[in-house]
Amino acid sequence: MFAAKNKRDAVLALLDRNARQDYIPAAFFIHFDKAFHFGPPAVQKHLEYFRYTGMDFVKIQYERTFPPIPDIKRPEDWRNMPSYKLDFYQPELEAVQ
């Protein structure tokens, strides 16, 4: 049986089909109040939640909404989804950094 030395090893072992783990890594995700959507408050709230819950990994919530695109109504319409420039994602990238 695989005994993970740390949470990172436990998550990475999921990629090894021969590894036998003592548990399945897990995490839970929530959206925080708008006061914690961007910048240092977002970073602090994510870290607080991660540490409090003892999760195995953290997902940074993407709080930016995409502009409405009325032409996307059916699955095949998604090929018309625009490509946004890097500056559109800058607030989330700052939180990750």
Task: Please tell me whether residue 19 adopts helix, strand or coil conformation.
Answer: coil
Please tell me the predicted confidence (pLDDT) of residue 95.
82
Please tell me the predicted confidence (pLDDT) of residue 22.
86
The structural domains of the chain, with segments of one domain joined by +, span 7-96
CA angle 33, 39, 42 (to 5 degrees): 40
- Listed as ranges, residues in the chain with pLDDT below 50 are none
Report CA-CA distances (Å) from 38 to 27, 35, 57, 58, 67.
21, 8, 20, 16, 18
Name the pTM for this structure: 0.70
Please tell me the predicted confidence (pLDDT) of residue 79.
92
